Amino acid sequence: MGQSANRDSSADNDRSTLRSWHEWEVRDGERRIVLCVATPLELRPGYPGFDPAQLEALIRDATDLMRTSASPIDAIRIVPEGA
pTM above 0.75, yes or no: no
Residue spans of the domains in the chain: they are 19-80
Question: Is residue 71's pLDDT more than 90?
Answer: no
Give the pLDDT confidence of 30-61 residue by residue, as tens digits: 999 999 999 999 999 999 999 999 999 999 99
What length does the chain have? 83
> Is the backbone of residue 8 left (phi > 0), alpha (psi -120 to 50) or beta?
beta
